[in-house]
């Protein structure tokens, strides 16, 4: 059973059940609500989600609820009943061990920033060069 938390630990969660999908989202809304270039999501039946702590909620668009930690701001959960009834998307990187949950596909490629295609060609460092 995967477990996870926000950055400060005020919100902890576990998810029980079979994974429905694992995707990288490129949409502008995910970029703005997480501050990340892309967002990795895992979908599970929402009935299997157990949360300790009180996440805050934000309606980012009609019928969409995003939940996050009100203390440290970590984005955690995404609910879209119109598009995916009974499913919660969990930000993959908030898992205690995200490594085994590799994405299976990219979504919302229409919102990809034009310079994303060249990112693999940039210099790479194990730590910030200083």
Q: pLDDT tens digit string along 98-129?
A: 999 999 999 999 999 999 999 999 999 999 88
Q: Are 17 and 48 in contact (CB under 8 A)?
A: yes
Domain with 48 in it:
3-110
Per-residue pLDDT tens, the chain, 130 aa: give them: 899 999 999 999 999 999 999 999 999 999 999 999 999 999 999 999 999 999 999 998 889 999 999 999 999 999 999 999 999 999 999 999 999 999 999 999 999 999 999 999 999 999 988 7
Q: Which of 32, 10, 31, 34 is nearest to 93 (CA)?
A: 34
Phi-psi region of 86 (alpha: psi -120 to 50; beta: other; left: phi over 0): left
Structural domain total, the chain: 1
Q: Is residue 122 part of a domain?
A: no
Q: Give 37's DSSP letter.
A: S
Does residue 124 lie within any of the structural domains?
no
In a domain, 126, yes or no: no
pTM of the model: 0.91
What is the CATH number for 35? 2.170.150.70
Q: Is residue 85 part of a domain?
A: yes
102 C-beta neighbours (distance < 10 Å), count: 9
């Amino acid at each position: 059973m995967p477990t996870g938390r926000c950055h400060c630990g005020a919100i902890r969660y576990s998810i029980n059940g079979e994974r429905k999908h694992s995707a990288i989202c490129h949409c502008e809304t995910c970029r703005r609500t997480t501050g990340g270039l892309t967002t990795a999501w895992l979908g599970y039946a929402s009935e299997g989600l157990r949360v300790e702590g009180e996440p805050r909620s934000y309606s980012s668009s009609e019928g969409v609820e995003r939940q996050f930690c009100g203390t440290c701001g970590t984005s955690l959960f995404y609910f879209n009943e119109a598009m995916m009834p009974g499913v919660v998307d969990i930000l993959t990187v908030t898992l205690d061990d995200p490594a085994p949950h590799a994405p299976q596909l990219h979504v919302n490629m229409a919102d990809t920033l034009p310079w994303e295609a060249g990112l693999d060609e940039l210099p790479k460092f194990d730590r910030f060069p200083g």
